[in-house]
């Protein structure tokens, strides 16, 4: 048997009552039960007769019982925040207190309207918020419309202009080196690019209903063809006139020569080429591979030297035995790097491990495979470091410098090294000078000793002047080592003792017990250490 029930709650200035009748044989709701609940919630008094009438008319439909302004204290608080650029609005809905009804869609819409949010309101998001009762969490509930930039015409390329970068869309999952190819191989006669019809401008709109005029580019876009390409007479389509590697250089599409070699070893000798190079095998110890474009090596690299004006893709990796080195103007992608020296003017992305190497990278260093370990050696990155493990159980010395332009950091370290060398030289010179002075005081100072003393004095004066100049240089360079606020360190698993991380002149040393799931950022007051929230992962800006 089902007894009768009732619900008493606050909504929009009134106390509402809903009574559910009992099943046959069940116990009905009694007026005193309702009155007791009213007294508990401090609802204004209503006659027993009125309550009894509501009970007799019970059909589980809520109806207004009595005005109750003080019930507002129990209702949900709804706060709306409009972004500074007015292109989005977010909302936080606090959970209602006991005795108040959950907010309804019209409540949320009214709160948005009060803040002037009238455009781009996501009703589905609001409904999901209410249905899931996702209280006390900020949610974006309105978005503006960006203006569409009009253009007289636009270019569609028929080759990958940003190849080798699917990792930008992988949320640092697994980098599959088998799917990365820096070489866009085309054949004679291939369509490389074409002009598409003009794009009509579309005005944008803020969430407050303010129109954002869309600009129109009055400049006519033209296809530009470089070496080994042919442009049709009407200027709308561009074709390759030779086999090779298609890419864009200084705004023009070119087809550069492409060399494919089975390996770099004693059969080929060193390779120096203006275009791009694909090595189907590996690069043997002691050999040099230089390319003005990109380099792709499909097997291992030993104690070799690789230099590329573009990017480098190692589908396995390099075991450099402290003699191997890689320099590239673009990205470096590899499965592993061991005991080598690396310089990249863009990003370094490694699948498994970087071990006992010196890495200098102008943007980010990301390790994102199953191991994703950075062990030993040193990293200087102008951007950020993202890895799974940093250091190891043996507490091998691992140094990381983040957020400062590598040129500045290297200049600072060079100046400090020169300063230490000069100080050491001054100490040695002063010791020799003291010996000469002592010999002269002891009566053993002949003409040669006096001449040596004078030379040492001159030398000491010169070194002191050098030290003064170097001190000023070091101070100036140190003042330029302010780390970027956008640079971060993300360690998804564990950071071991023996690791030192510097953001400019601010330094963090891993504690003896290590640290797990760590995110380090630089703030105005110093370094901020926090845990890694899988639901709110940091985002690295790789640019275009």
- Share the mean pLDDT of the chain: 89
Rounded to an integer, what distance in angstroms lies between the CA atom of residue 308 and that of residue 295?
6
How is residue 442 annotated by DSSP? T
Residue 521 corresponds to which tokens in the numbers above?
A: 């950022």
pLDDT surpassing 50 at residue 166: no
DSSP-assigned beta bridge partners for residue 491: 387, 518
pLDDT score recorded for residue 258: 83
Domains and CATH numbers, the chain: 5-72 (no CATH), 75-143 (no CATH), 150-254 (no CATH), 408-479 (1.20.58)
The tens digit of pLDDT for each residue in 380-439 reads: 999 999 999 999 999 999 999 999 999 898 888 889 899 999 999 999 999 998 888 888
Rounded to an integer, what distance in angstroms lies between the CA atom of residue 337 and that of residue 304?
13
What backbone torsions phi and psi does residue 252 show, to the nearest 5 degrees? -110, 145
- Distance of alpha carbon 200 from the chain centroid: 33
The tens digit of pLDDT for each residue in 172-215 reads: 445 555 444 556 778 899 999 999 888 788 899 999 999 999 87
Rounded to an integer, what distance in angstroms lies between the CA atom of residue 394 and that of residue 59?
73
pLDDT surpassing 50 at residue 171: no
Residue 128 corresponds to which tokens in the numbers above?
A: 């999901």
Rounded to an integer, what distance in angstroms lies between the CA atom of residue 61 and that of residue 491?
55
pLDDT score recorded for residue 536: 79
pLDDT score recorded for residue 274: 82
Residue 310 corresponds to which tokens in the numbers above?
A: 């573009």
Q: Max Cα separation, the chain?
A: 130
pLDDT score recorded for residue 346: 94
Assess contact for 421 and 525: CB atoms under 8 A.
Answer: no
pLDDT surpassing 80 at residue 260: yes
The tens digit of pLDDT for each residue in 137-165 reads: 899 999 999 998 877 778 899 988 876 55
CB proximity list for 349: less than 8 A, separation 6 or greater? 167, 175, 331, 332, 333, 334, 365, 366, 367, 368
The tens digit of pLDDT for each residue in 498-532 reads: 999 999 989 999 999 999 999 999 888 788 898 88
Rounded to an integer, what distance in angstroms lies between the CA atom of residue 284 and that of residue 192?
36
Assess contact for 417 and 473: CB atoms under 8 A.
Answer: no
Range name among 210-219, 256-265, 524-533 with the lowest pLDDT average:
210-219
pLDDT surpassing 50 at residue 169: no
Kindly state the helix (H) or strand (E) to which residue 154 belongs, with its residue range. Answer: strand 154-157
Q: For the chain, give the percent of residues with pLDDT over 70.
A: 94
DSSP-assigned beta bridge partners for residue 252: 249
Rounded to an integer, what distance in angstroms lies between the CA atom of residue 332 and that of residue 180?
11
| Cβ count within 10 A of residue 35 | 16
Q: For the chain, give the percent of residues with pLDDT over 90.
A: 54
> Do the strands 488-495 and 385-390 form a parallel or antiparallel pair, or are they unpaired?
parallel
The tens digit of pLDDT for each residue in 339-394 reads: 999 999 999 999 999 999 999 999 999 998 889 999 999 999 999 999 999 999 99
């Amino acid at each position: 048997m089902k007894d009768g029930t009732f619900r008493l709650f606050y909504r929009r200035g009134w106390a509402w009552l809903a009574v559910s009748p009992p099943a046959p044989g069940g116990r009905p709701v009694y007026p005193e039960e309702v009155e007791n609940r009213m007294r508990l919630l401090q609802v204004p008094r209503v006659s027993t007769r009125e309550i009894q009438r509501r009970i007799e008319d019970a059909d589980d439909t809520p109806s207004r019982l009595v005005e109750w302004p003080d019930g507002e204290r129990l209702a949900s608080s709804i706060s709306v925040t409009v972004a500074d650029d007015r292109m989005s609005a977010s909302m936080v809905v606090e959970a209602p207190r006991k005795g108040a009804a959950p907010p309804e869609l019209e409540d949320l819409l009214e709160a948005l309207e009060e803040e002037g949010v009238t455009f781009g309101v996501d009703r589905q998001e609001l409904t999901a918020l209410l249905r899931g009762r996702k209280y006390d969490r900020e949610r974006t509930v309105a978005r503006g419309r960006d203006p569409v930039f009009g253009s007289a015409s636009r270019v569609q390329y028929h080759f990958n202009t940003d190849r080798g970068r699917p990792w930008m869309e992988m949320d640092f999952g697994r980098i599959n080196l088998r799917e990365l190819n820096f070489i866009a191989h085309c054949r004679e006669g291939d369509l490389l690019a074409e002009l598409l019809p003009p794009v009509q401008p579309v005005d944008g709109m803020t969430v407050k209903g303010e129109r954002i005029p869309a600009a129109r580019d009055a400049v006519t876009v033209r296809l530009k063809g470089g070496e080994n390409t042919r442009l049709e007479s009407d200027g709308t389509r561009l074709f390759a006139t030779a086999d090779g590697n298609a890419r864009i250089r200084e705004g023009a599409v070119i087809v550069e020569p492409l060399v494919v070699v089975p390996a770099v070893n004693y059969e080929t000798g060193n390779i120096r080429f203006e275009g791009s190079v694909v090595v189907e095998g590996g690069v043997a110890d002691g050999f040099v591979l230089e390319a003005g474009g990109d380099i792709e090596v499909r097997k291992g690299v030993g104690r070799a030297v690789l230099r590329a004006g573009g990017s480098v893709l190692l589908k396995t990796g390099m075991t450099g035995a402290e003699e191997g080195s890689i320099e590239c103007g673009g990205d470096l992608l590899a499965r592993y790097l061991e005991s080598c020296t690396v310089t990249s003017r863009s990003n370094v992305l490694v699948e498994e491990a970087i071990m006992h190497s010196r890495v200098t990278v102008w943007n980010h260093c990301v390790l994102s495979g199953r191991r994703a370990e950075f062990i030993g050696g040193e990293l200087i990155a102008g951007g950020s470091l993202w890895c799974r493990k940093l250091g190891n159980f043996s507490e091998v010395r691992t140094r990381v410098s983040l957020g400062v332009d590598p040129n500045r950091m290297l200049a600072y370290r060079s100046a400090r090294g020169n300063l230490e060398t000069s100080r050491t030289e001054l100490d040695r010179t002063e010791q020799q000078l003291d010996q000469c002075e002592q010999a002269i005081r002891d009566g053993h100072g002949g003409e040669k000793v006096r001449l040596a003393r004078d030379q040492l004095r001159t030398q000491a004066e010169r070194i002191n002047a050098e030290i003064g100049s170097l001190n000023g240089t070091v101070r100036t360079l140190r003042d330029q080592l302010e780390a970027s606020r956008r640079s971060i360190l993300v360690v998804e698993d564990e950071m071991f003792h023996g690791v030192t991380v510097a953001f400019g002149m601010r330094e963090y040393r891993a504690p003896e017990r290590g640290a797990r799931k760590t995110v380090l950022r630089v703030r105005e007051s110093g370094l901020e250490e926090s845990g890694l929230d899988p639901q709110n992962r940091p985002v690295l800006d790789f640019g275009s």
